[in-house]
Amino acid sequence: MTRTTPPRPLDVAAVFPELGAHTTTATRLHPRPGAPAVTDSSIGGPLLWPAGEPWPVCDADDHDDPVPLPTPMIPVAQVYRHDAPDFAGPPGTDVLQVLWCPLDHLDEGYNPLVRVFWRRAADVTRVLAEPPSPAEVHEEYVPAPCVVHPERVREYDYIGSLPGDLAARVRERFGSRYQYDLSLAPGWKLGGFANWSLTDPLPMDCEACGAPMTLLFTAASSEGPASWQPVEDAPVTPTGVVIGRGYSLYVFGCPASFEHPVATAMQ
C-alpha cells in the first residue's frame, strides 16, 4: 500500500519565491511493522550482507557503560535505489545499509554510533545467514522489523539556515507553522533537510576534508505532527525507536567522498 502525505496547507514558495533556492526533496520511508526480507528495503530488517565480509563491530571506547569489546552493530535501515528516488550513493551502487551500535556513546552526544555502507546488490552472491548480535543493547535503539512505503516530498530549509532577511519575513508571515507544518518532513527519511529544533543549525563539516556535509538519512522517534500523517494510516511510533527524549538522529554524509565518515546530530 502506498502512503500519501497530505498536501501542505499552503505553498510557501508561492508566497516567497526566493525559497526556490532553499528547497530539496526527501523520501519519507513510512516504516510499518512487517516481515521484510534481505531483498526488501526495510527499517530494522535483515541486510543483504555478503557472507564473506566481516560484520561491522563497534570498538569505540566512549560507551556510557563499560561493555565487552567489540560489540556487533545492528541493522537500522536498508534502502534499495529502486525504492527511493532520493537514493544518492556512489555510481554503480544500488543499496544503502545503515547500522549502528545500539548503546549510548559519550562522543556522539549519548547516541548510537552510526556507520553506512553502499553496495551493489548483484555483487552479493551469498548472503550472511546469521549476523552476530550484541550481548547488550538499549532496547530503544533496536527498531522493530518494518517494511517501508517510500514517498517523495518537497522540503524547504530550516528557518535558521535561510538568509537573515528572508528568515525574518518567513517568520513574520508564518510563525512556527513554517517549521512544523510547511517546510520539513518529520519521521524516517532519506535526503531532505534537518530540523534544528534544539540548537539551531550546527556546522556539520566533514572530519576528513572540511566540506559542509549534507543530510543523508534520518532516524526518528515519531512520525511527527498531525499535518504530516499519511492519509492511509497514522501510527506515531511504528519502529519503537526513541532518540533522546523523543528526538531525531540526523546522519550527514560528505558530498566530496563517500569514503569519508558520516557524522550525526540529535535534534
What residues line the site for Zn ion (CB under 5 A)?
58, 60, 101, 103, 113, 206, 208-209, 211, 254, 256, 260
Shortest Å, Cβ 120 to Zn ion: 22
Residues 197, 179: contact at Cβ < 8 Å?
yes
Give whichever of 88 and 256 is closer to Zn ion, judged by the CB atom: 256
DSSP characters for 233-256?
A: ---S-SS---BTTTBEEEEEE-SS
Measured in whole angstroms, how far is the alpha carbon of residue 28 from the centre of its chain? 9
Shortest Å, Cβ 50 to Zn ion: 23
Containing 102, the helix (H) or strand (E) segment is strand 95-105
* DSSP H helical ranges for 64-127: none
Q: How far separated are the first and last CA of the chain, in Å rounded?
A: 30
Give whichever of 47 and 103 is closer to Zn ion, judged by the CB atom: 103
Give whichever of 103 and 266 is closer to Zn ion, judged by the CB atom: 103
Give whichever of 10 and 209 is closer to Zn ion, judged by the CB atom: 209
Sign of dihedral through CA atoms 93, 96, 97, 100? positive
Shortest Å, Cβ 35 to Zn ion: 28
Give whichever of 97 and 183 is closer to Zn ion, judged by the CB atom: 97
Give whichever of 13 and 211 is closer to Zn ion, judged by the CB atom: 211
Beta strands at 71-72 and 95-105: parallel, antiparallel or unpaired: unpaired
Shortest Å, Cβ 190 to Zn ion: 19
Give whichever of 101 and 116 is closer to Zn ion, judged by the CB atom: 101
Q: Residue 240, Cβ neighbours under 10 Å: how many? A: 15
- Residues 6+ positions from 130 with CB-CB distance below 8 Å: none
Residues 35, 146: contact at Cβ < 8 Å?
no
Q: 234 in helix, strand or coil?
A: coil
Phi-psi label, residue 92: left if phi above 0, alpha if psi -120 to 50, beta otherwise: left
Shortest Å, Cβ 6 to Zn ion: 37
Shortest Å, Cβ 133 to Zn ion: 14
Residues pairing with 250 in the sheet: 218, 265
Shortest Å, Cβ 106 to Zn ion: 10
Find, among 77, 73, 11, the residue nearest to 40 by Cα: 77
Shortest Å, Cβ 139 to Zn ion: 15
Give whichever of 7 and 54 is closer to Zn ion, judged by the CB atom: 54
Phi-psi label, residue 106: left if phi above 0, alpha if psi -120 to 50, beta otherwise: alpha
